Amino acid sequence: MTERDGGLEFLEQVTARLAQTAGVDDWLARQVEMTEHQFYLIGDAPESVRTVHTTRLEVTVYNDHPPRRATGEPVRGSAQVTLLPADLPDLEARLRDAVFMASLADNPRFSLPGPAEMPAVETADPALLADPPEMSRQVGTALRRAVAAEPGVRLSSAEVFIRERRLALRNSRGAAGLHHGTNLVLDLVLMAGAGPAEAERHIAVRRRRRADLDIEMLVARYAQQARDSLRAVLPQGRTGPVVISGEALRELFLPLLLHTGAQFHYQRLSPLRIGEPVFRGPLQGEALTFISDGRLPYGSRTAPFDDDGVPRQTTVLVRDGILQSLWAEHRYAEYLNIPATGSFANVRLAPGATPLADLLAGDDVTHVVSFSWLNPDPVTGKFSGEIRLAYQRRNHEWTPVKGGAVSGDVFAALAHAHFSAETQFRGDYLGPEAIRFEELVVAGE
């Protein structure tokens, strides 16, 4: 796989042994090599510098056997083990243990994906790979320069990670693939004000390439929010329109992501049905189009194949508010007799027809730019998130607010929503910059 790390010898040694191990009816192996440079700042000074190298082999063995507590057709069990280079002398015993673990579990039989042509995708950034330690320092310098240009704001701390990951996959049915990816992770805290009146903004971003991280714009946006936090007051309690923008949007779609997955349906945890609306109640706004995009250029979850070796693809899950199909890992696709799309990739939402400025129209609107943690229940879709920073119009002017909470139900809220025409790319999300939900509860004064 790499000249530097000795290629695929580890993978080849293990897969050769797998093929000879009694009780291994199928196998899947992934060799993962990771190198990461980590640079930590407190204020302007380095706090720590770290370099990490790891190599591991993730192996799944599949064993077919009669059911343990019943009679009937043979069933299949699987077990995962992670092997490190130091495990090679004990490989036979480790694989024997894995076969025993797999022999305990009784599941309906399923097959593994076979050979396939893997799509060419863009996931590695040469600019990050040229000199990662130097790049991490450059990012730190750019960050400090951008913060220095912002009045009334200082850098509390920052973490810059540059990660290179190489993965090689093979299975017993001939699937094979290589993937090389990079990640730039920036985690920073901006502080505005002084003494008891200080307020902070915490930002965490992940991009596959340096060119997708506009540090000046990022700092300018969040510095303004930090300054606004200084004069924020408790929100007025109301039930009405709430516009959610920024990083909170990705989390809002977690329940829909799970409910459009084959495993959730196989587990009988979703009431959604193909050909029916995903929202609850009559449609009063714009209808949602929701896509799993496995080939989004430089998307955080873009790859040539998923963990099972299914080629990544772009799948329209919800079109105009109607459930079209399920994303399905190979096993669950077989169980439900539907096409295998592979695991969920990047979230892509179709933009709406309304400019953001129009979404913000009206005296009763609350515009939330940051929650403490928007954490909707994955099964029920209900949520209640504390407002870290929002804006409410008072006397025709936007007033920053914080504290209080916004609550609702994702599936009900989608029945009466409008999507901005402007879009944003956030690593694993490409879609509207903001969404307006017409009826959510704002708890406050």
Using the contact rule CB under 8 A, the part of the chain among 76-84, 124-132, 134-142, 391-399 near other proteins is 76-84
The reply to whether 81 sits near other proteins by the rule CB under 8 A is: yes
The reply to whether 268 sits near other proteins by the rule CB under 8 A is: yes
| Binders in 365-394 for other proteins, by CB under 8 A | 372-373, 375, 377, 379-380, 382-386, 388
Query: 296 near 339, Cβ under 8 Å?
Result: no
Separation CA 335–CA 367 (nearest Å): 43
Burial class (CB in 10 A: 0-12, 13-18, 19+), 223: buried
Pick from 269, 274, 357, 361: which binds other proteins (CB under 8 A)?
269
In whole angstroms, the minimum distance from the beta carbon of 134 to other proteins comes to 15
Q: What angle do CA 365, 230, 139 make, to 5 degrees?
A: 100
Which amino acid is located at 229 in the chain?
S
Give phi and psi for 315, each to the nearest 5: -125, 120
Separation CA 201–CA 227 (nearest Å): 9
What are the angstrom distances between the C-alpha of 266 and each of 221, 279, 409? 43, 20, 23
Q: Please tell me whether residue 315 adopts helix, strand or coil conformation.
A: strand
Using the contact rule CB under 8 A, the part of the chain among 75-83, 136-144, 351-359, 414-422 near other proteins is 75-83
In whole angstroms, the minimum distance from the beta carbon of 419 to other proteins comes to 25
Q: Which is nearer to other proteins, 50 or 394 (CB)?
A: 50
In whole angstroms, the minimum distance from the beta carbon of 135 to other proteins comes to 17
The reply to whether 187 sits near other proteins by the rule CB under 8 A is: yes
Pick from 40, 62, 290, 344: which binds other proteins (CB under 8 A)?
40
Q: Which is nearer to other proteins, 93 or 357 (CB)?
A: 93
Of 262, 269, 260, 312, whose CA–CA distance to 289 is shortest? 260
Burial class (CB in 10 A: 0-12, 13-18, 19+), 221: middle
Q: Which is nearer to other proteins, 123 or 270 (CB)?
A: 270
What one-character DSSP code corresponds to residue 115? -
Pick from 402, 418, 426, 436: which binds other proteins (CB under 8 A)?
402
| Binders in 44-63 for other proteins, by CB under 8 A | 45-56
Q: Which is nearer to other proteins, 54 or 114 (CB)?
A: 54
Give phi and psi for 267, each to the nearest 5: -80, 0
The reply to whether 86 sits near other proteins by the rule CB under 8 A is: yes
| Binders in 157-176 for other proteins, by CB under 8 A | 157
Pick from 267, 353, 355, 364: which binds other proteins (CB under 8 A)?
267
Locus of tokens 């402007």: 422
Q: Which is nearer to other proteins, 54 or 174 (CB)?
A: 54
In a 13 Å sphere around the CA of 288, the CA atoms on its Cβ side amount to: 32
Q: Please tell me whether residue 365 adopts helix, strand or coil conformation.
A: coil
Chain centroid offset of residue 68 CA: 38
Using the contact rule CB under 8 A, the part of the chain among 111-119, 355-363, 401-409, 428-436 near other proteins is 401-409
In whole angstroms, the minimum distance from the beta carbon of 48 to other proteins comes to 5
In whole angstroms, the minimum distance from the beta carbon of 421 to other proteins comes to 30
The reply to whether 186 sits near other proteins by the rule CB under 8 A is: no
- How many residues sit close enough to other proteins to count as binding (CB under 8 A)? 76
The reply to whether 101 sits near other proteins by the rule CB under 8 A is: yes
The reply to whether 336 sits near other proteins by the rule CB under 8 A is: no
Pick from 221, 297, 403, 412: which binds other proteins (CB under 8 A)?
403
Separation CA 403–CA 232 (nearest Å): 9
The reply to whether 122 sits near other proteins by the rule CB under 8 A is: no
The reply to whether 77 sits near other proteins by the rule CB under 8 A is: yes
Pick from 6, 7, 66, 85: which binds other proteins (CB under 8 A)?
85
Complete DSSP assignment for 13-75: HHHHHHHHSTT-SEEEEEEEEEEEEEEEEETTEEEEEEEEEEEEEEEEEEEEE--SSS-SS-E
Which amino acid is located at 190 in the chain?
L
In whole angstroms, the minimum distance from the beta carbon of 60 to other proteins comes to 8
Using the contact rule CB under 8 A, the part of the chain among 18-26, 105-113, 208-216, 418-426 near other proteins is 105-113
231 beta partners: none
Separation CA 153–CA 146 (nearest Å): 10
